[in-house]
Structure 1
Amino acid sequence: MAAEIRMERMTSPEIGAAIEAGITTVVVAAGAVEQHGPHLPLFVDAEHGDRLAVEIARRLGRALVAPTIRVGWSAHHMAFPGTVSLEKETFLAVCRDYAVSLAHHGFRRVCFVPSHGGNFAPLAEARDAFNEAAGPDCSVDVYADLAEVIGVWRDVAEAEAGLGGRVGGHADVAETSIMMAMHDGIVREELAECGRLTTPEEEPELIRRVLSEEFASVTPNGILGDARGASAELGEKMIAALADRMAAHFEA
């Protein structure tokens, strides 16, 4: 059986021994608990973060996985019932405290992995502050390319199923497929539908709008893209492709 790398499932002595053995890289996912259309549960980004962090740590080797920050900055989703959001400053304070805590215990590299679109820009902007707070013996890095994430999903969807045009970045064929891969029966497949469709050229402006305005003003059903055509097989390929790309960033 493979050694456990998820810190919350390890004992304190086991973590200490891992650090002593030179396992000093730790991956931290930053997700969200927010609406994902009529067909997906609120925990999509948090659960996806759990899986991504493990996949990335395995690819990096000699790395552990910290508990996912499950609630993020989701103010733009508050028009939809059930969404839970931290203020941006609160979210960043939590992330900073994670980095400081992990550095205190001897980790020398902290890799933040956003699994919710709203967390990308704040984390990128706070990277220098995190590094200062963590101290000179610990490096803090952030994967910050949201457009690349959507591009990876679109490429996989097109290559595997001819569905690249249905990827929009939120509750779409990509996230629906990922949830199918992770949790059998969790998707309300009969409710999967089309939302706001977009093109790669339109994405930068649309991302700006959904992060600065109410999400519902852009897509009333809470979907960016089209959720139809999703499958667990497609989801597994998307998870693998994105983990490959994110791990490559941290290895560069």
Structure 2
Amino acid sequence: MSAEIRMERMTSPEIGAAIEAGVTTVVVAAGAVEQHGPHLPLFMDAEHGDRLAVEIARRLGGALVAPTIRVGWSAHHMAFPGTVTLERETFLAVCRDYCSSLAHHGFRRVCFVPSHGGNFAPLAEARDAFNEAAGPGCSVDVYADLAEVIGVWRRVAEGEAGLGARVGGHADIAETSIMMAMHDGIVREELAECGRLTTPEEEPELIRRVLNDGFASVTPNGILGDARGATARLGEKMIAALSDRMAAHFAR
């Protein structure tokens, strides 16, 4: 059986053999192609989803990784050039079709991993519809705790560098560090700057404003938090910590 776990890099017979051998869990990342401030490329969330899905599947064992859903629901970022969004209903229809396709081939568990903040709530709300699409022989689970993601990043940033206050959840020290860990030289480090600083107490109201009025209404440069101080080492620590937490959710 192939050592590769990313389905799009495998052949159809290899996937069939894996399912026959009992590899019946599949991890699906749901990312975005959207603005990430003046210093990060638009594929931040899609690339992060690729990495998280592989890390989570390895931790779970007996799991493959489906192709990442690279474009998500990003309507609230459309004030910034380059952002590509699906309508919420279109995004969820794509996710439902993933579930029915994967269940058809014999997968018995589908684990959705949102790597873009705007995808968390829609995926959580559609969990029942996903399970209906998958049918009785397959269960669908969604990691849906966006606040926990930001909390993991804050703990790592504070513990490793004393910079937890710079985590705000978008194009901040966390996402900048993660991109530096994934791709050397792609971050425009000289353009990394401070954006809208937040506290955990402010986040629910801020998220409501972002979704209702758009991202530009709360942060003109597209950053929530502060991107300065990012390092690849910090990014690797954040990827590992978040992968551990998400895998623990699906392992329960």
Shorter chain as denominator, the TM-score bin is over 0.9
SS of 1:122's equivalent in the other structure is: helix
Out of 198-207 and 80-89, give the one that drifted further: 198-207
1:71 Cα deviation after fit: 0.0
Residue 209 of structure 1 and its aligned partner are, at CA, apart by 1.4
- Structure 2: how far apart are the matches of 1:162 and 1:213? 32
- Could you list the per-position Cα deviations for residues 48-106 of structure 1 after superposition, in whole angstroms to 9, with x for gaps in the alignment? 00000000000000100000000000000000000000000000000000010000000
TM-superposed CA distance for 1:251, in Å, is: 0.7
4+ runs deviating over 6 angstroms: none
Give the paired residue count. Answer: 252
Report the Cα distance in structure 2 between the residues aligned to 1:201 and 1:86, rounded to whole angstroms. Answer: 30
Structure 2 unmatched ranges of 5 or more: none
Give the RMSD, CA atoms, in angstroms.
1.0
> For 1:120-144, what per-residue CA distance to the aligned partner results, in whole angstroms no more than 9, with x for missing partners?
0000000001001110000000000
**Map of 2:120 onto structure 1:** 120
What residue is the counterpart of 1:232 in the other structure? 232
Deviation by residue 1:113-169 (Cα, 9 ceiling, x = unmatched) = 000000000000000010011100000000000000000000000000000000000
Q: CA deviation at 1:9?
A: 0.2
Using the alignment, how far apart are the partners of 2:178 and 2:13 within structure 1?
34
Task: Return the offset for 1:242.
Answer: 0.2
Give the TM-score, by structure 2 length. Answer: 0.99
Partners of 1:243 and 1:208 in 2: how far apart? 27
- 1:39 counterpart = 2:78: no
Query: For 1:2 and 1:243, how far apart are their aligned partners in 2?
Result: 23
Moved more, 8-17 or 200-209: 200-209
Q: Deviations over 1:215-239 (max 9, x none)?
A: 0010000000000000000000000
Partner of 1:211, secondary structure, is helix
Q: Name the structure 1 match of 2:96.
A: 96
Instruction: Name the CA shift for 1:13/1:170 in 2 (closer, same or farther; >3 Å).
Output: same
CA distance in 1, matches of 2:209, 2:119: 15
Distance in 2, matches of 1:133 and 1:85, equals 23
Would you say the 8 A contact 2:181–2:236 is kept in 1?
Answer: yes
Question: Is the contact made by 2:150 and 2:167 (CA closer than 8 Å) also made in structure 1?
Answer: yes
1-side partners of 2:134 and 2:84: how far apart?
28
Q: Could you say which residue in structure 2 is the equivalent of 1:80?
A: 80
- Correspondence for 2:136: 136
How far apart in 2 are the matches of 1:172 and 1:148?
A: 16
TM-score, normalized by length of structure 1? 0.99
CA distance in 2, matches of 1:155, 1:182: 20
Q: Distance in 1 between matches of 2:190 and 2:217?
A: 24
2:161 alignment counterpart: 161
Residues 151-230 of structure 1: pairs in structure 2 closer than 5 A: 151-230=151-230
C-alpha offsets along residues 185-226 of structure 1, whole Å, 9 cap, x if unaligned?
000000000000000111111112112221001000000000
Moved more, 109-118 or 197-206: 197-206
Tell me, in whole angstroms, the C-alpha distance in 2 between the residues paired with 1:107 and 1:163: 42
Deviation of residue 2 (structure 1)?
8.3
Instruction: Give 3-state SS (helix, strand or coil) of 1:19's partner.
Output: helix
Answer whether contact 2:29 2:114 (CA < 8 A) is retained: yes
Q: Secondary structure, in 3 states, of the residue corresponding to 1:110?
A: strand
Structure 1: distance between partners of 2:120 and 2:127: 11
Percent identical residues: 92
Question: Do 2:2 and 2:14's aligned partners in 1 also have CA atoms closer than 8 Å?
Answer: no
**Cα deviation, residue 20, structure 1:** 0.2
Conserved 8 A contact 2:49-2:115:
yes
1 CA distance for matches of 2:209 and 2:155? 24
Shift of 1:8: 0.2
